[in-house]
Amino acid sequence: MSETLPALGQIGALVLLLVLTVPLLARYLAHLYTSERHLAPERAAYRVLRVDPDADQHWRSYALSVLGFSLVGVLALYTLGRVQAHLPLSLGFAGLPADGAWNTAVSFVTNTNWQWYSGEAAVGHLFQMSGLTVQNFVSAGVGMAVAAAFARGLARTEHDGRVGNFFADLVRTTVRVLLPISLVTACVLVLFGVVENVAGDSVMTTLTGGHQTLTGGPVASQEAIKQLGTNGGGFYNVNSAHPFENPTPFTDLVSIYLMLLIPFAMAGAFGLIVRDRRQGIAVGGVMALLLSVSIGLLTWAEMAGPGTAPQLAGGAMEGKEVRFGEAASALFAAATTGTSTGAVNAMHDSLTAPGGGVAMFNMMLGEIAPGGVGSGLYGMLMLAVVTVFLAGLMVGRTPEYLGKKISQREIVLVAAYVLTTPFLLLVGIAVAVSVDDGPAGILNGGPHGFSEMLYAVTSAANNNGSAFGGLTSGTPFWNTLLGLLMLFGRFLPIVFVLALAGRFAAARRAPAGAGTLPTHTPLFVLLLSGVALVVVGLTYVPVLILGPIVESLS
């Protein structure tokens, strides 16, 4: 009972914050992505980029802009990592090895932020600020831009496949949303104890008379966008379990709130863009339902889950910060794997077997509950198309979503989207267990060792970035494999999403008839939730049996 009340209080405070702010941000985002007005700083950015922000791009041009911009980001970040030793504020750190620089560059550009290294012991302040933090902003902006383009595709009629302007969407998102919220958040975090400086190592005298070296740095500024943009890369190796990044239960609550804010607001903005608020409420309702189930299961697993030790201790405290406890760690784990954040305030390798299984399953869902900034919305909308297609087959009518007919070409694109991540994940884990370099990095044997590899592959393919800490991933094999999974797991789905957006934008809107499936009702919310669970269950249950399920039963 002593742990239950604080847990319920934290969840209640989080829900209250979201209820008060999500509708406001949703309206702001909808105006942002439908307005033709450009601010002065944005016009300056367009001149530097040499682009016309008013040019309405065909979906192919939009996709090429996304890919080209991201390729430049990968090359720039790779170069910074390799020449780090020659940069100011490098703190004496050497350049990253070729495979490590590749992995880091791809990781941050794809909004994954997987880290094979210890941040405070491998990268300097300039690399953190000009490389990693910059990508935290623009990678989040790319995801939101793609989601906005998809929403436009559904809202437009006979628009020749044009879905907006990528650079205008990216610049507006960064200047008007990510930068101002991050600035305010960083100030709040500093006020409550998060470090922000450009100092080097500080030598502290411990209570026993010994000495300990602590590294400062621009932590609060990176922490704010790390959570807001569902990036997740930590300044320190233990991420948000470090007191310099996340010192108090209040900052922990702020972190969870930031992870969920934009994904839920994007769902509301979608309803406003397509001129039917009920559609956004339905999508947000599915996100909230799946997240609530995840929080409940993870909280049960960590506070009263199976096993003699957790029951005797009143909860599974191994790998968790006493500042937060089991309930706050479970809530954080559900939020970070339900979104594409990947930040951690507890070691996921120490979660109970069912708790670790729930965290993995959250990622396998495609991180749609509520998902990453942008990626959660377009992932949920793709599943919505699957849902109306299946419903149409059952009643013998041509399926449609928001008045757009779903024919063979549309469903092929949706199928390609849905199958991409499972294909990458299952092929990736098959490769990992088939070569000696894969199992060589695990800490534990048996099903838990398999879970360590499965979690890493799942995290990379779904662009999450969290890890079971038992896996030593900083090897050429793991850096290369995970880098490829992150790259294809990010950009192949984006291409399919934009292609479908273009087809919807070019299509006519069919009037709703007697046989049209309403997509704003509680029934559709349940159908969409069921489709998400069944699609994932049929795909991943066999591989989950080999890891967390067997471990739970044993």
pLDDT tens per residue across span 15-64: 999 999 999 999 999 999 999 999 999 999 999 999 999 999 999 999 99
Q: DSSP labels for 271-317?
A: HHHTT-HHHHHHHHHHHHHHHHHHHHHHHHHHHH-SSHHHHHHTS--
pLDDT band for position 397 (cuts 50, 70, 90): confident
Whether the predicted pLDDT of 426 surpasses 80: yes
* Dihedral over alpha carbons 310, 315, 316, 318 (to 10 degrees): -110
pLDDT value of position 1: 45
Alpha helix ranges (H) inside 33-133: 40-49, 59-82, 98-109, 119-122, 125-126
CB atoms within 10 A of CB 511: 6
Amino acid in position 19: V
What is the average pLDDT across 453-473? 92
The burial class, CB within 10 Å (0-12 / 13-18 / 19+), for 17 is middle
Question: Which 8-state DSSP code applies to residue 436?
Answer: T
Q: What are phi and psi of 346, to 5 degrees?
A: -150, 160
Sorting pLDDT into bands at 50, 70 and 90, what band is 315? low
pLDDT digits (tens, 9 = 90+) for 336-377: 999 999 999 999 888 888 999 999 999 999 999 999 999 999
Predicted confidence (pLDDT) at residue 302 exceeds the cutoff of 90: no
pLDDT at site 311: 54
From 368, 328, 334, select the one nearest 463 (Cα to Cα): 368
The tens digit of pLDDT for each residue in 515-537 reads 788 999 999 999 999 999 988 77
Say if residue 370 is preceded by a cis peptide, omega within 30 of 0.
yes
Joined together, the tokens standing for residue 452 give 């360590």
Which amino acid does the sequence have at 403? G
Predicted confidence (pLDDT) at residue 221 exceeds the cutoff of 60: yes
CB 475 within 8 A of CB 124: no
- For all residues of the chain together, what is the average pLDDT? 92
Most confident of 17-26, 214-223, 470-479: 17-26
pLDDT at 239 over 60: yes
pLDDT of residue 213: 80
The encoded tokens of residue 25 equal: 């941000």
Residue 545 is classified by DSSP as I
Residue 203's DSSP bridge partners are: 213
Residues in the chain: 554
Residue 71 has a pLDDT of 97
How many Å apart are CA 132 and CA 487, to the nearest integer? 17
pLDDT of residue 313: 52
Q: How far apart are CA 255 and CA 246, in angstroms?
A: 8
Distance of CA 300 to the CA centre of its chain: 24
Which helix (H) or strand (E) is 259 found in, with range? Answer: helix 249-273
pLDDT at position 553 is 83
Choose between 2 and 149: higher pLDDT: 149
Q: What is the per-residue pLDDT across 273-292, written as a single tens digit (0 to 9) for each?
A: 999 999 999 999 999 999 99
* 554 has a pLDDT exceeding 60: yes
The confidence score (pLDDT) of residue 314 equals 54
Q: What is the pLDDT at residue 317?
A: 77
Q: Are 343 and 239 in contact (CB under 8 A)?
A: yes
Q: What is the pLDDT of residues 111-134, one digit of tens each?
A: 999 999 988 889 999 999 999 999
State the Cα–Cα distance between residues 257 and 264, nearest whole angstrom: 11
Among 376, 367, 337, smallest CA distance to 355 is for 337
Residue 475 in tokens: 């090897």
Which H helix or E strand runs over 227? helix 219-228
- Angle (CA) 270 271 273, round 5°: 65
Q: In whole angstroms, give the CA distance from residue 496 to residue 416.
A: 7
Q: Residues 67-75: contacts with CB within 8 Å, 24+ apart?
A: 67/491, 67/495, 69/138, 69/142, 69/166, 69/167, 69/170, 70/109, 70/110, 70/139, 70/142, 70/491, 73/105, 73/109, 73/135, 73/138, 73/139, 74/105, 74/106, 74/109, 75/105
The answer to whether 392 and 398 are in contact (CB under 8 A) is: yes
Distance CA 464, CA 331 (A): 16
DSSP code for 58: E
The rounded percent of the chain whose pLDDT value lies above 70 is 97
Taking the CB of residue 202, how many other CB atoms lie within 10 A of it? 11
